[in-house]
Amino acid sequence: MKTFNDENFVLDTPAAQKLYHEYAEGLPIIDYHCHLIPEYVASDHKFPNLSKIWLEGDHYKWRAMRTNGVDERYCTGADTTDWEKFEKWAETVPYTMRNPLYHWTHLELKTAFGVDKLLNPSTAREIYDHCTAMLQTPERTARGLMRHYNVEAVCTTDDPVDSLEHHIKVKNDGFEIKMLPTWRPDKAMAVENPAEFKAYINKLAEVSGVAISKFGDVIDALQKRHDFFASVGCRLSDHGIEEFYAEDYTPAEIDAIFDKVFTRGEELTAEEIRKFKTAMMVEFAVMDHDAGWTQQFHYGAIRNNNSRMMAQLGPDTGFDSIGDFTVAKKMSKFLDMLASRDKLGKTIIYNLNPRDNELVATMLGNFQDGRYGAGKIQFGSGWWFLDQKDGMEKQMNALSNLGLLSRFVGMLTDSRSFLSYPRHEYFRRTLCNLLGNDIEKGLLPASEIDFIGREIVAKVCYGNAKEYFKF
């Protein structure tokens, strides 16, 4: 019987162990998509206790706690203490077995704080006090944890109207780890709500210094902000979309749609919304291509399903789920709209519904282009609900069978937490286990284990991202 969470955790075979320990373990981390709070890095934030760094804002944990019968006040309530919230999480952890939270919890405790004990009600107080004490040291501040995990670069998620003042401060401070912004312009195409859209466009006009009265002005203002983001080190965009948009449209139609929603404040038809979103996605893609950026598309989530809890808590509180959109033809048409103009740059596509794994993996091959180097169009790692061992294995198996696993840019945290870096270790162990098991079964030659380690494992874990993004 193997030991839980030891040095060979997830590694089933001698070949898997060799690949991980000799080629993956200890590699730097390029976290090219995360939701860290930039101010925390800029101020080198010190977390007062384990609850604040571990539970605050973590909707993964909140979903599990609710499912385990924990009252909402112990998840998001203002009338409960940090310790009380942690106590309820400790009660929940044993019941998360076979959920990735069980693995993440113990990996994070071990790698960040040296805690080998299992978290449960009997160990909760000891673990809480130990970790809280460590969080008061310089080695466990926001920047200290990034150094501890050998982070080389992180890319946050930022709106075009953001000042990026914290990114600028971090650079000016001479902090050795790069914190770069990522362009996330979702609000600039959110015409479903005319009032909110108008307020956002007015804010965009203010920060860009461009007076906006027509659609062309919007693009001019966004281009100014795009240039500003580039000057602060941005090299990626990110788009959170339910589905891909690929409607036929004319410039005159988009001008009229913008006038209708912005000037007159009128509701748009479903067709008008789709046309406007298509036009915006094309404009964004052209900006990214011309700047040499990578564009990312996270698609397929149904958000804010529980209207009562949305009204009570707002978004990103654990009430989202996997959608079942039909996307293949629209995805293909959108990419082709760009490729036909030679304006399709580096692109990463993340699906949330696992049924789309093979769909995305085959779509990539339609638009690869050696002029951009290896793996121009990427199948993004298992995202959100798929960010777990089974989800990562299925994503990598689909990519292996239908593309080139060897050119994959690998893992990211997609997290708001400074304790989420072990997700990279979890991914690396899973990758090494897949390849190592193939070697043990004779599906890959044992004589090539050094090549597999150097050219596949080390590059998927680190080298490919470094070459692809060129931070």
- For residue 188, which phi and psi values (nearest 5 degrees)? -75, -10
Q: Are residues 196 and 97 in the same domain?
A: no
Task: Based on the fold, state whether residues 252 and 119 are members of the same structural domain.
Answer: no
Q: Same domain, yes or no, for 193 and 236?
A: yes
pLDDT for 349: 98
Q: Could you read off the pLDDT of 75-123 as tens digits, one per residue? A: 999 999 999 999 999 999 999 999 999 999 999 999 999 999 999 999 9
The answer to whether residue 105 is domain-embedded is yes
Question: Of the residues 140, 160, 193, which one is the last residue of a structural domain?
Answer: 140
Q: What is the mean pLDDT of residues 336-347?
A: 98
Has residue 4 been placed in a domain?
A: no
Amino acid sitting at position 262 = F
pLDDT the model gives residue 435? 98
Predicted pLDDT of residue 321: 97
> pLDDT band for position 380 (50/70/90)?
very high
* Number of domains the chain contains: 2
Residue matched to tokens 């112990």? 74
Looking at residue 367, its pLDDT comes to 98
Query: H or E stretch including 131?
Result: helix 124-134
Cα of first residue to Cα of last residue in the chain, in angstroms, is 44
Considering the domain architecture, whether residues 74 and 219 belong to the same structural domain is answered as: no
- The percent of residues in the chain predicted with pLDDT above 90, rounded, is 100
Euclidean distance between CA atoms 46 and 34, whole angstroms = 19
**339 & 229 share domain:** yes
Domain span including residue 463: 14-46+142-469
pLDDT category of residue 191 using cuts at 50, 70 and 90: very high
Per-residue confidence band for 378, with pLDDT thresholds at 50, 70 and 90:
very high
pLDDT at 358: 98
pLDDT at residue 26, as a whole number: 94
Looking at residues 184-201, what average pLDDT do you find?
97
Same domain? For 29 and 61 the reply is no
Residues 6+ apart with CB under 8 A from 116: 5, 110
What would the pLDDT profile of 12-63 be if each residue is shown by its tens digit? 999 999 999 999 999 999 999 999 999 999 999 999 999 999 999 999 999 9
- Is residue 362 domain-shared with residue 442, that is, in the same domain? yes
How are strands ordered across the β-sheet holding 377-379?
Answer: 236-241, 294-299, 346-351, 377-379
Would you say residue 290 lies in a domain?
Answer: yes
What pLDDT is recorded for position 13?
98
Sheet with 151-155, strands from edge to edge, namely 29-31, 151-155, 178-180
Is the C-alpha dihedral spanning 132, 137, 138, 140 positive or negative? negative
Instruction: Report the amino acid identity of residue 287.
Output: M
Say which CATH number the domain at 210 has. 3.20.20.140
pLDDT band at 342 (very low <50, low <70, confident <90, very high): very high
User: Residue 1 falls within a domain, yes or no?
Assistant: no
Mean pLDDT in residue range 336-349: 98
Residue 3 gets which letter from DSSP? P
Question: DSSP E strands: which ranges in 284-443?
Answer: 294-299, 301-302, 321-322, 346-351, 377-379
Same domain, 211 and 290: yes
**Which residue, of 140, 163, 186, is where some domain finishes?**
140
CATH number reported for the structural domain that contains residue 118 in this entry: 1.10.2020.10
In a domain, 3, yes or no: no
pTM of the complete model beyond 0.75: yes
Instruction: Determine, yes or no, domain membership for 136.
Output: yes
Report DSSP state, residue 317: S
Concatenated DSSP letters of 133-184:
HHTTSGGGSHHHHHHHTTEEEEE--B-TT---HHHHHHHHTT-SSEEE--B-
With cut-offs at 50, 70 and 90, classify the pLDDT of residue 285.
very high
One domain for residues 370 and 318: yes
Cα 15 from chain centroid (whole Å): 30
User: DSSP H helical segments within 366-420, as ranges?
Assistant: 389-402
> Which pLDDT belongs to residue 188?
98
**Tokens coding 156:** 């946050």
3-state secondary structure of 458: helix
Do both 160 and 71 map to the same domain? no
Q: Report the distance separating Cα 358 and Cα 166, nearest Å.
A: 40
State whether 203 and 242 are in the same domain: yes
Determine the Cα–Cα distance for residues 45 and 54; give it in Å rounded to an integer: 14
Give the containing element (helix H, strand E) for 129: helix 124-134
Asked if the structure places residue 409 within a domain, the reply is: yes
Domain boundary among 140, 172, 190: 140
Same domain (yes/no): 155, 39: yes
- Which sign does the torsion angle of CA 20, 21, 23, 25 carry? positive
Residues 244 and 302 sit within 8 Å (Cβ to Cβ): no
